[in-house]
Amino acid sequence: MTVKNNIIVDTQPQYIEAQSSPDKHRYVFAYTITITNAGSIPATLLSRHWLITDSNGKQQEVKGEGVVGEKPYLKPGESFRYTSGAVIETPVGIMQGKYFMLSDGGDQFKASIPKFTLSIPRTLH
């Protein structure tokens, strides 16, 4: 969990075995993100920037507006939860990134997305 400008970002990854093909080096993961405004000023999530790295060091960079087609507006105390996915070529990888936010006060800021591990079950302890 990471806090930046009173924005809390919590991550929960999950391996999707039914969509994966290890023999073809295809490992599919879902991740659920909860973004909470723990501050006193409303803010809008404008865009995202992800860096996804597999255990071979291959990196994917993902940039875009909003998340899952939305630009959530979070009043103090509100949360927004969504689930998305990533595909990598190895059984283990990491994701990290940032959200670009705009407060109602006109301040633009970044909310860090903490580094988290993508791992098939029983790979890491």
In a 3-state reduction of DSSP, which class is residue 87?
strand
Residue 124 has a pLDDT of 57
* Spatial distance between the Cα atoms of 106 and 125, rounded to a whole number of angstroms: 44
Report the pLDDT value the prediction gives residue 123, as an integer from 0 to 100: 66
Q: Which domains does the chain have, with CATH numbers?
A: 2-115 (2.60.40.1470)
Which residue ranges of the chain lie beneath pLDDT 70? 1-5, 123-125
3-state secondary structure of 34: strand
Q: Give pLDDT, residue 1.
A: 45
